[in-house]
Amino acid sequence: MVFDPQADHKRWLTLRLLLWLALGVTLAVAVFNDYRSDLRHWQRQTPKELQALEGAPSGVRELLPDGTHPERCVSCHLGVDAPIDGLPAPYQRHSWPLTHHTPKRIGCVVCHGGEGRALTTAAAHARAGTSARSARLVLPYLEASCAQCHLPGAVPQTEHLVRGAYLFLELGCGLCHSLATGGRGGWDDGPDLRTTRQASVEALTQSILDPTIDFPDSTMPSYRTTFADKPEALADLNTYVLSLALSGGAPRDQVAPRINPTLPCNTCHATTMAMGNFHHDCVYLRDRRNELRCSGCHADGAPQGRGLCPLLVAHASACLACHTPKGPR
C-alpha cells in the first residue's frame, strides 16, 4: 500500500479533533457530576422556614465533636436542632429533643454510624469502608449505640437491646461466645463477639440462621427454627450482638470484665423479682433453679450481686461463660 501523506494527515487530524471533543465531554461530565452533587441538591432545596431562621446554606458545614474527626452530616441535615416541626427529610429535627447528646458535643456518627466525612448520601449513610447502609441509622439497631456508654436496661426505651440481651442469656449464646474469657467458652470455642469487626446485620443474621455458609468449619447449630416466625426477636438479638462489637470490651482479652456487659439485675429479673421468687434464666442454671436461694448470692437480701452463689463456686467453668466470680483484676 502506498503511503499517502495528505490523506494520512487529514485522517489523523479528524481523529484528533474527535478525541479532543470526547475529552472535553468527559471533563464536562466530571464537572457536571461535581456540580449536581447531593450536597448542592439538598442545600438548594432548603425549606424557606429554615432559611429564614439560619440564612441560606452554602458549602460544607462541619462539626468537630472530638476535635479531630470532622462530621459533615449537618451539611444536608440542616434542621437537626432547629425548633421547627414538620419539615421533610433530610431537614427534619431530631425525633426527640437533644439535651445532653447535642450534635455539637458528641456529633452524629457515634450513635447513627455512617461516614461523617462523606458528602454524598450513599457514602455518608454507609458503614465506614463499605457500601452497605449503616444499620444504626434508625431503630431498632440504633439502640445498640446506647450500649457504648450505658448499660443495657439502664437507658429508658431501649426495649430491643434489653430483649436482645435477655435472648443472649436464654439461648445460651455465652456458653460458646463467652463474654468473660474471650472466646473460650465452657463448652466449645466461639469467636469473641466483642472483638469481631463490626459486621453487617445481614451477615449476623446469616451467621445465626445458617452458620456454616460463611464458616464451613463452624460447629454452631442453626437457629433457623428458633427464629422461624419471630423476625422481631432476631432483630433484638442482632441489636444486642451489634452492641457487643461496639462496646468492644477490653482489647486485652485476659482482662476479664466483672460481668460484661454488666447487666443490671432487672434486665433478667424485672418481672420475676417483682413476684418475689428468684428465677435465673441461664440455660445451665434453669434446670437447677430449685437449688438456688436468694441468700446464696445476696448476703443480706440486697441485690448487690456480690455474694458467693453456691452454684457459681461448684460449677465455675460453666458460669464463666457469662460471669467471672471476682471483679476486674
Partner 1 sequence: MTPNLPQQPDPATEGALSRRALLERLTGVTALACGIGAVAATLRAAVPSKPDAENRRLYVGRAADFKMNTTTWLSEMELFILHTRAGLAALSARCTHLGCTVRRSRDGFRCPCHGASFDAEGHVLAGPARRTLPWYALSVTPTGDCWVNTEVEVTPGSYVAAVMLPEETP
Partner 2 sequence: MWHALGKALASLPQNLVADLRPHTRPDDSASKRLRRSFLYHLFPLRVTERALAPTTTWALGIISLTLFLVLCGTGLVLALYYVPTPAEAYDSMLDIEHRVALGGLLRRLHRVAAHALVITAALHLLRVAMQAAYRHRELNWWLGLTLFAALLGLAFTGYLLPWDQTSYWAVRVVSTLLDHLPWLGQPLKLLLLGSDTLGDQALVRFYALHVALLPGGMLAVLALHLWRVRRDGGLSSSTPELVTQPAWPHLVDRVVGVMLATCLVLMVVSLTTALPLGPPADLLRPDNPEKAPWYFLGLQELVSYSATMGGVVVPVLVTLLLFALPLLDRDERDIGVWFGDTAEKRLFATLVLTSSLVVVLGSLVSTWPTLTQAQTNLSNTLKDLLNPASLCLVTTVIAGTLAGSRTCLPRSAMRVMLGVLGVSLLWFTLLGLWRGADWLLTWPWSGSSHGL
Which x/- pattern over 308-327 shows residues binding partner 2 (rule: CB under 8 A)? --------------------
- Segment interacting with partner 2 (CB under 8 A) among 125-133, 259-267, 286-294, 316-324: 125-133
**C-alpha dist (Å) from residue 271 to 266, 268, 275:** 8, 8, 7
Least distance in Å: CB of 31 to partner 2? 8
Residue whose entry in the numeric block shows the C-alpha cell 426527640:
96
Least distance in Å: CB of 182 to partner 2? 13
Number of residues that bind partner 2 (CB under 8 A): 33
Q: Is the peptide bond before 90 cis (omega within 30 degrees of 0)?
A: yes
Asked if residues 190 and 181 have their Cβ atoms less than 8 Å apart, the reply is no
What count of other Cβ atoms lies within 10 Å of the Cβ of residue 206? 14
What count of other Cβ atoms lies within 10 Å of the Cβ of residue 175? 20
Residue 123's binding partner out of partner 1, partner 2, none, with CB under 5 to 8 Å set by partner kind: partner 2
- 66 scored as a contact of partner 1 (CB under 8 A): no
Question: Which grid coordinates are listed for 75?
Answer: 451539611
Which x/- pattern over 217-256 shows residues binding partner 1 (rule: CB under 8 A)? ----------------------------------xxxx--
- 60 scored as a contact of partner 2 (CB under 8 A): yes
Pick the closer one to partner 1 by CB: 212 or 277: 212
Q: Cα dihedral angle (288, 289, 291, 297), rounded to 10 degrees?
A: 120
Least distance in Å: CB of 172 to partner 1? 20
Residue 18: Cβ-neighbour burial (10 angstroms; 0-12, 13-18, 19+) = exposed
- 211 scored as a contact of partner 1 (CB under 8 A): no
